[in-house]
Structure 1
Amino acid sequence: MSMRAIIVGAGGHSKVVLEVIRAMGGHEVLGFVAPAAPGASVLGLPVLGGDEILPRLLAEGVQTAFVAMGNNQLRQEVAGKLRKMGYSLPAAIHPSALVSPSACIGQGVVVMARAALGTEALLQDFAIINTGAVIDHDNHIGAAAHVAPGCALAGNVTVGERALIGVGAAVRPGIRIGADAVIGAGSAVVRDVAAGAIVGGAPARPLRRS
């Protein structure tokens, strides 16, 4: 029997998460929770309302939620509130992803199609591993971090909380990327990246904030 669930968020990322959930099976997604105009829908499912309906849905027995927000900090904050309310926040893993049996995956993690998780990779709560990304052995991906499509992280890489690794970036073995850092698309990261830094290029170098 399918478990009833909701998706919190109704942007572009939520569409992909819905398709991951449908591919997994086991959940009946009732709709989305997000501020929206009356009658709004996403991929044929209704936007049920804003955050104000969350207590009522929980009281009605809808106990499972998937947080589908691309902003790392917002995703972490909203997921924390849902967990305190009593919602279950399972991981969503596309069946085409290659996941080592020794990988450890936290609550609310999303692993997209054709991603690969290597031996003893650790994904903390609410991280996103996007389409086709490679997370090699002994990687540690921090809470609410996002590894974008087509990235390649070699062995023993550490990615801090809420960090963003841009599309197609490559990270050499043993690199440490600090919390809230941003790695530009297509970058080659060959040195550690400090917390909050923005880097880009090949090799990646610090970029000025606009």
Structure 2
Amino acid sequence: MNKVIILGASGHARSVLDIIRQNNEYEICGLIAGQEETGFWGIPVIGQDSDLQRIYEEGIRYAFVAIGNNVVRKKLSNKLKDIGYELINVISKYAVISAHAKLETGIVVMPGAVINAEAHIGEGCIINTNTSIDHDDIIGQYSHIAPGSSISGSTKIGCGCFLGTGTNVIDSIVIEDEVTVGAGSVVIRNIPKGAKVVGVPAHQIN
């Protein structure tokens, strides 16, 4: 099996590692994390961000950024690509993904998620537990769709967005880049770039 390193050592990283182990497709060599962080499940912390070049030169070519923060995940993914690493996808065998959906790289799809026909999931996205991405949806790079969210068809979500737990979005909505949607919100109107919205129906608070 190809060897892979995982950036991160938090709860999100544990969810990611659980899927990798279930799929048995990669040999996990270790975690890249801060000095104060420790490994788990017998998987050690083998370095920090400053060690990525050295680890690559030692022959490890695959990596995954298991960090929930969209900005940090993008920054580290770009650093890995600049060094030469290939970003893997982590797809739960308990997710349902159409053969006609398109997934870029560096994506995690958690158990219970559904991604329907002609959906397009951008690089570095988190499609979390029991999330529904319907037909013809576009999810921009480095966005996070939190657990239990439901995105109706032909919706476009920009880059760097965060849709909180249990968000519902009606069909054909446009959510621009870097939007934050509070947990349990119902989105029935387009949302401009950088907005923060909450409520039923969702309304802007900044």
TM band (smaller chain) = over 0.9
**Displacement, 1:42?**
2.5
Tell me, in whole angstroms, the C-alpha distance in 2 between the residues paired with 1:155 and 1:96.
Answer: 22
* TM-superposition CA deviations, 1:29-55 (whole Å, max 9, x none): 1110011248x2123311112112211
- The alpha carbon displacement at 1:181 in A equals 0.3
Q: Choose which of 83, 86, 94 in structure 2 pairs with 1:85.
A: 83
Q: TM-score, normalised by structure 2?
A: 0.97
Alignment partner of 2:40 out of 39, 42, 52: 42
Q: Which residue of structure 2 lines up, in the alignment, with residue 153 of structure 1?
A: 151
For residue 15 of structure 2, what is the amino acid of its counterpart? Answer: V
Which residue does the alignment assign to 1:6?
Answer: 5
Distance 1:96 1:29 in 2: 21
Q: In 1, distance between residues paired with 2:192 and 2:101?
A: 26
- Counterpart of 1:28 in structure 2 is 27
Quick one: which of 57, 63, 80 aligns to 2:61? 63
The answer for unaligned runs of 5 or more in structure 1 is none
User: Helix, strand or coil: the match of 1:57?
Assistant: helix
**2:29 aligned counterpart, secondary structure:** strand
- How many residues end up aligned between the 2 structures? 206
Show the 5 A alignment for 1:166-185.
Answer: 166-185=164-183
Letter in structure 1 aligned against 2:55: L
Deviation at 1:98, TM superposition (A): 0.2
Displacement over 6 Å in runs of 4+: none
Aligned to 2:129: 131
- Residue 199 in structure 1 maps to residue 197 in structure 2: yes
Question: Percent of aligned pairs with the same residue?
Answer: 38
| CA-to-aligned-CA distance 1:60-118 (integer Å, 9 cap, x gap) | 11100011111001101110110010001011100010000000000101100110000
Unaligned segments of structure 2, at least 5 residues: none
List aligned pairs for 1:87-106, cutoff 5 A: 87-106=85-104
Separation (CA, whole Å) in 2 of partners of 1:136 and 1:128:
15
Q: Deviations over 1:134-169 (max 9, x none)?
A: 000000000000000000000011111000011001
Give me the TM-score of the superposition, normalised by structure 1: 0.95
Counterpart of 2:105? 107
Q: Considering only aligned residues, what root-mean-square deviation do their CA atoms show, in Å?
A: 1.0
